[in-house]
C-alpha cells in the first residue's frame, strides 16, 4: 500500500503529462510524442490510484483491469481509421455510464453512513469512500448530494447521446434529424422534471429520485442527439467529449479524487473549446447546433439545373498533365476507400513533374476533427502542403485543377447560394472557382447528410466515378 504522499505526487505528475499531451496534439509533428505522454500519464494515474491508501478488493479490481486492457487492445487492433469516430463516441458512452453508477453507489454509501449515525452504531466495515463520508459535516454532505446529482445527470445524457452518435456515425441509425412530436418541448419538460427531482432528493426524498432522474437524463441524451443532423456529428462528438469530461470531474469531487477532477476538467474544457472552434468555423451558433437547429429544412431548396457529366481516367490525366497548380480536397470517402496511399503516390508524381500540389482541409472534413490530417500523415504526405480552409480558400480562383475525393457538404456551393439549404451560411471550400474540378465519387447519390450538391452539375465539373483507390490507381500510370 502506497502512502498518500506518493499518490499526491503521482497525481501532479500525471496531470502535467496530460497537459503536455493536449498541448502536443495541436501540432502534427509532435502528436505522436503527445499521445505517449497521455499513455504514460494514464498508466501512472491508474497504478497509484489502485494502490493508494484505503483501496482494496484487488481480487476483483485486477482481473477487471486485465480484462478491460485485453478488450481495449483487441479493439484498437481491429478498428479501421474510418471507424475511429464511432469508436470515440462509444468510449464517451462508457465514461457517462460509469459516472451514473459511481454516483448511485456514492449515495447508497451516504445513506449507509447516515443510518449508522442515526442508530448510534459504529460501522465495522467502512469502504474507503464511506470512511470519507463519515468525516463530513452536514453541509459538506449537501455538497456531496449536489455532486451526485450532477454526475448522474451529465453522465446519463452523455451515455445515451454517445450511443446515438455512435449509431449515426456507424450508419446503424438514420443520419437525418428526427424527434418525437413536441420536439424541444419534450427536452425542456424532461429538464424541468429533472430539476424538480433534484430538489426533492436534496430535501431528503428516497433513492427513487435518482433512478427517475437518470431515466429522464437518458431520454434527454437520446432525444437531443436524435434531433441533430448527420452533418453536425463532428461537433456532436466533440461536445460529448466535453460532457464526459465534466461528468468525470463531478465524480472526482464526489470521491475526493484530485486527479480525476483535474483530468475531467481538462477533457471537459478542451472539448468545449474545440466544439466552439468548430461551430465558429461552420458559422453556426453552438446552442443552435446542440438544440438541433442545423440539419433541418428552412424552406424549399433551390432547383438544380444541368446534368452530371462523367469523365474517365485518361481525361483526368490529360488535365493534370497540362496543369501547373493542383489542389486536392479529401473527405470521408477517401477514408472509406483507404485511398490515402494512392493519393500520396499521385502527389509525389505530380510534384516530381514540377507542379504545385496542395491539400485543402475543411474543419469538419471526415467525421472527426483532424480525421483527414491523420490519414494524410499516415500516408507520408508532407505537412507543409496540407493547408486549412482559411489558408487556401482564396487561391481556388487561380488553381488549374481541383480533385475532390469523397467530399460533399464541405464543397457544396448551396451553403453560399441557397438561403433555404440546411447548410446555408456554413463556410465551404470554394472549389467551383477553379478552372476544372474533378469529383471522385462512387455514384450519383447525395453525401452523408443527404443534401444535394450543385457543384456536381456545374460546367467546369466532371464526375470521376468509381472506388477512389481504384480510380486513382488507374490514373497514376497515365500521369506524366
d(Cα 89, Cα 239) in Å, to the nearest integer? 10
End-to-end CA distance of the chain: 68
Query: Which spans in 120-227 are helix H?
Result: 128-134, 138-170, 184-202, 208-226
Nearest to 157 by CA among 199, 206, 95, 104: 95
Residue 14 in contact with residue 38, Cβ under 8 Å? no
d(Cα 100, Cα 211) in Å, to the nearest integer? 10
Sign of CA dihedral 5, 6, 9, 15: negative
Nearest to 153 by CA among 208, 95, 123, 198: 198
C-alpha cell at position 96: 457517462
C-alpha cell at position 82: 474510418
d(Cα 252, Cα 149) in Å, to the nearest integer? 13
Residue 17 in contact with residue 44, Cβ under 8 Å? yes
d(Cα 370, Cα 26) in Å, to the nearest integer? 10
Torsion of CA 404, 450, 453, 324, to 10 degrees: -10
Enumerate the β-bridge partners of residue 327.
358, 402
Edge-to-edge strands, sheet with 386-388: 386-388, 356-361, 325-330, 401-405, 436-441, 461-465
Residue 151 in contact with residue 103, Cβ under 8 Å? yes
Q: Catalytic residues, which ones?
A: 409
Amino acid at each position: 500500500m502506497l502512502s498518500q504522499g506518493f499518490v499526491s505526487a503521482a497525481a501532479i505528475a500525471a496531470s502535467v503529462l496530460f497537459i503536455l499531451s493536449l498541448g502536443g496534439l495541436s501540432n502534427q509533428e509532435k502528436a505522436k510524442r503527445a499521445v505517449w505522454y497521455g499513455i504514460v500519464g494514464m498508466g501512472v494515474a491508474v497504478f497509484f490510484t489502485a494502490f493508494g491508501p484505503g483501496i482494496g478488493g484487488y481480487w476483483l479490481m485486477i482481473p477487471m483491469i486485465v480484462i478491460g486492457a485485453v478488450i481495449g487492445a483487441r479493439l484498437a487492433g481491429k478498428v479501421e481509421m474510418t471507424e475511429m469516430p464511432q469508436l470515440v463516441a462509444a468510449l464517451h458512452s462508457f465514461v457517462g455510464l460509469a459516472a451514473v453508477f459511481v454516483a448511485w453507489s456514492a449515495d447508497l454509501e451516504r445513506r449507509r453512513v447516515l443510518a449508522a449515525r442515526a442508530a448510534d452504531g459504529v460501522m465495522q466495515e467502512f469502504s474507503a469512500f464511506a470512511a470519507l463520508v463519515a468525516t463530513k459535516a452536514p453541509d459538506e454532505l449537501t455538497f456531496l448530494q449536489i455532486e451526485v446529482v450532477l454526475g448522474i445527470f451529465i453522465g446519463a445524457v452523455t451515455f445515451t447521446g454517445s450511443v446515438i452518435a455512435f449509431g449515426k456515425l456507424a450508419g446503424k441509425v438514420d443520419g437525418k434529424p428526427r424527434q418525437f412530436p413536441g420536439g424541444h418541448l419534450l427536452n425542456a419538460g424532461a429538464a424541468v422534471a429533472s430539476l424538480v427531482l433534484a430538489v426533492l432528493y436534496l430535501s431528503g426524498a428516497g433513492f427513487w429520485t435518482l433512478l427517475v432522474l437518470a431515466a429522464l437524463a437518458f431520454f434527454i441524451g437520446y432525444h437531443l442527439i436524435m434531433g441533430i443532423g448527420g452533418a453536425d456529428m463532428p461537433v456532436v462528438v466533440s461536445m460529448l467529449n466535453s460532457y464526459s469530461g465534466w461528468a468525470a470531474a463531478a465524480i472526482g469531487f464526489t470521491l475526493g479524487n484530485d486527479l480525476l477532477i483535474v483530468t475531467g476538467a481538462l477533457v471537459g474544457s478542451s472539448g468545449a473549446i474545440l466544439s466552439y472552434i468548430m461551430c465558429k468555423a461552420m458559422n453556426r451558433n453552438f446552442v443552435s447546433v446542440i438544440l438541433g437547429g442545423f440539419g433541418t429544412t428552412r424552406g424549399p431548396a433551390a432547383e438544380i439545373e444541368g446534368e452530371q457529366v462523367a469523365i474517365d481516367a485518361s481525361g483526368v490525366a490529360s488535365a493534370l498533365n497540362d496543369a501547373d497548380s493542383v489542389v486536392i480536397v479529401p473527405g470521408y470517402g477517401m477514408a472509406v476507400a483507404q485511398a490515402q496511399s494512392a493519393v500520396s503516390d499521385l502527389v509525389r508524381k505530380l510534384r516530381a513533374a514540377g507542379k504545385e500540389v496542395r491539400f485543402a482541409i475543411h474543419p469538419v472534413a471526415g467525421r472527426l476533427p483532424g480525421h483527414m490530417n491523420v490519414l494524410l500523415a499516415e500516408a507520408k504526405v508532407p505537412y507543409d502542403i496540407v493547408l486549412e480552409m482559411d489558408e487556401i480558400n482564396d487561391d481556388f480562383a487561380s488553381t488549374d485543377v481541383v480533385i475532390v475525393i469523397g467530399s460533399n457538404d464541405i464543397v457544396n456551393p448551396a451553403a453560399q447560394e441557397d438561403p433555404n439549404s440546411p447548410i446555408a451560411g456554413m463556410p465551404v471550400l470554394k472549389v467551383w472557382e477553379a478552372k476544372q474540378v474533378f469529383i471522385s465519387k462512387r455514384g450519383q447519390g447525395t453525401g452523408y447528410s443527404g443534401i444535394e450538391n450543385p457543384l456536381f452539375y456545374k460546367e467546369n465539373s466532371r464526375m470521376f466515378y468509381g472506388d477512389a483507390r481504384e480510380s486513382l490507381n488507374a490514373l497514376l500510370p497515365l500521369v506524366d
